Chain A
Amino acid sequence: MTVTDALGLLAMYETAATIRRFEQRAIEQYRLGNIRGYLHPYLGEEAIAVGAIAALEPDDYIVSTHRGHGHAIAKGHDPRRMMAELFGKEDGYCRGRGGSMHVASRSIRNLGANGIVGGGLAIAAGAGMAIKQRGGTEVVVAFCSDGSTANGIWHEAMNLSAIWDLPVIFVLENNQYAVSTPIRDSARVDRLSDRAAAYGMPGVTVDGNDAVVVLEAMTEPLRKARAGEGPSLIECMTFRHGGHHVNDPGLYLPQDELRRWKERDPLIVLRARLTEAGVRDAAIAAVDERVEQVMDEAVDVANASPNPSVEAFLAEVSSQ
């Protein structure tokens, strides 16, 4: 797929719209009481997962975060089974045992979302080591958040990946807040990507609201990783469209800043690119319609799916 290819763009748009509508529908279902626990929407950050994963092959791996629905959908998870997992149902990806923060799939090569911020980063390095030992050419994309860069594991995972030339691409989603704490209160560097130099790997900062920019930023890191030349860091600047999780109104977010970022909504940016590439509005509308249909099905599947059997669970655990 080339960047300017209208079909490629349309596919990226469809993924972004799927993530957008999935999150919105999940929030609705949460309000209806069908989903419990923590739910961290990816609203406003869709371009990062879409762009980064559009650059990958199906057998490449990803490691996800607590804000992981977008990564999972972009990597190929079925929104129906995702929604079923959020509902805690048997047909969900984790059979109702993991929920929103723990969606994972071996076949899709999503090593997993994580309830621990930074919890997946060394795991990404480990998958990179496995690829290297097998002599493979796959890569691992380690999605991580600005908050995680304050944690030791972020630094250790970066350094280990660097010293052993592991095929890992750290895609840092800098939405500039960790719950209510702005990144400027957690880091003294203006660009978190400057830290890449400390580990001897390339680091760039790019517009995380433009999926095409993110996709392009993957090119050189992918080449290096597949050639055995080690890891890279891509910092993608973005902003949440709402609170930290579904029950956080996010009132601490500066409203003018939020408005500016919403003007550059990843879906608006992608639509503009589609128009520029000569894709007609009708074609975009057709995608939107298809996405809506999948979402209706997702909610139906999640509703219809059985709850996991308590008896079976007890039989499983009472012998342990």
Chain B
Amino acid sequence: MKYREALRAALDEEMGRDERVFCLGEGIGERGGSYKVTEGLITKYGAGRVIDTPLSEAGFVGLGVGAAIAGRRPVVEILFVDFLLLAMDQVINQAAKYHFMSGGEGTVPMVIRTQGGTGNSLAGQHSQSLEALYYHVPGLKVVMPATPADAKGLLTAAIRDEDPVIFIEHKLLYMTDGEVPDGEYVIPLGRADIKRSGSDVTLVAWSHMVLKSLRAAEILAAEGISVEVIDLRTLVPMDVDSILDSVRKTGRLVIAQEAVKRGGVASDVAAIVAERAFDALRAPIIRVAGYNTTIPFNLALEKASVPQVDDIVAGVRTAVGATASARS
């Protein structure tokens, strides 16, 4: 099943199971959304639960917050994570804080499904990796699945969660294929997944970087370097224990993120490990990340601006002391 079909399956099953769940977004009805995730849902659930919106991002994200507080379970689709910036007040000042500021009485059980990343030559305003913005804000959960199965299990969990969840898909993942369990399938938020076990280096990644990390691990295996690839899957809450356990085993940590290096989630993972497992480290932690630049339109420049498989390979080699890395 394709990633986008797995997302659709989660939406379909949750809408079937719980009449409070509804979808809201631009062109998600008859058109089925830009990436065809909601295709067919309007036929099954009607225009009252699969609602096409005008280009009013702040408005309908805020509307989602209100509907959630009042007992519904909105799944709001924002075409690009770049456009979620138009609704930052609703996300950060309203949704994220409502539960806390109401003394724990109010809840905002809402999911914002959005999409980010590079890969299609869409330039600076349609290619960003902005998870760090949401990661930074207390009160939000942040989910970034890499595989179809994780997409289904995590979206189901996100819809059932009582907190606002920023669910960020990657534009290069929609057409990827994978096994997906039939029927009800829930992956609790906050559990990383060891996508490949290894003993020499811990390689932490999420979203599309997991695929690149697995390819890098393959290449490195041929060189006799055994890489453990940990897919965080949810950035908030973060499965710190899984990271620490792995680092205690391997003694080395590389973090691969597509987002720009400065102020990214990779920096935080590095800090957490430095604080809590410094004694286990046998080499400096390495962040393989995007350059601190706006994403260029030209495809070759775009590719150069974010880590590729070779960059991850180089980062891991540096961590094991094999050679120097250009990017780290």
A22 to B40, CA, bound (A): 37
Contact A151 B297 (CB under 8 A): no
What's the minimum C-beta distance from B55 to chain A, rounded to whole angstroms?
5
Does any Cβ of B come within 8 Å of A310's Cβ?
yes
A148 to B123, CA, bound (A): 21
What class of interface size applies to chain B in its complex with A? 20 to 34
A181 to B51, CA, bound (A): 11
Chain A, residues 284-320, CB within 8 Å of chain B (1/0): the string is 0000000000000000000000011010011011101
What's the minimum C-beta distance from A9 to chain B, rounded to whole angstroms?
36
A102 to B294, CA, bound (A): 13
A152 to B61, CA, bound (A): 13
Contact B298 A101 (CB under 8 A): no
Given known A308-B301, A310-B301, A320-B292, contact A178–B54 (CB-CB < 8 A): yes
Chain B, residues 41-73, CB within 8 Å of chain A (1/0): the string is 000000000001011111100000000000000
Given known A98-B297, A252-B31, contact A181–B52 (CB-CB < 8 A): yes
How would you classify the secondary structure of chain B's contact residues: helix, strand, loop or mixed? loop
Does any Cβ of B come within 8 Å of A221's Cβ?
no
Contact A101 B301 (CB under 8 A): no
Contact B126 A310 (CB under 8 A): no
Contact B26 A97 (CB under 8 A): no
A136 to B294, CA, bound (A): 33
Given known A116-B83, A179-B31, A181-B26, contact A308–B56 (CB-CB < 8 A): no
What's the minimum C-beta distance from A307 to chain B, rounded to whole angstroms?
6
Given known A37-B120, A148-B55, A152-B58, contact A307–B126 (CB-CB < 8 A): no
A101 to B31, CA, bound (A): 23
**Closest partner residue, chain B, to A94 (CB atom):** B297
**Closest partner residue, chain B, to A244 (CB atom):** B27
Does any Cβ of B come within 8 Å of A150's Cβ?
yes
Contact A97 B83 (CB under 8 A): no
Contact A97 B54 (CB under 8 A): no
B119-162 with Cβ < 8 A to chain A: 120-126
Contacts of B57 in A (CB 8 A): 151
Q: A117-B55, A186-B55, A316-B293 are in contact. List 9 more A-B contacts (CB 8 A).
A: A38-B126, A89-B298, A96-B296, A98-B124, A101-B126, A116-B125, A150-B59, A178-B54, A187-B54
30 A-B pairs (CB sep. < 8 Å): A36-B299, A37-B297, A38-B126, A88-B297, A94-B297, A96-B297, A96-B298, A96-B301, A97-B124, A97-B301, A98-B297, A99-B123, A102-B125, A115-B122, A115-B123, A115-B125, A116-B83, A147-B54, A147-B55, A150-B54, A151-B56, A151-B58, A178-B54, A178-B55, A181-B52, A252-B31, A307-B300, A308-B296, A317-B305, A320-B293
The 7 closest A-B pairs by CB, nearest first: A99-B297, A150-B54, A115-B125, A186-B54, A88-B298, A36-B121, A37-B121
Contact surface of B with A, Cβ cutoff 8 Å: 26-27, 30-31, 52, 54-59, 82-83, 86, 120-126, 291-294, 296-301, 304-305
Contact surface of A with B, Cβ cutoff 8 Å: 36-38, 88-89, 94, 96-99, 101-102, 114-119, 147-148, 150-153, 178-181, 185-187, 252, 307-308, 310, 313-314, 316-318, 320
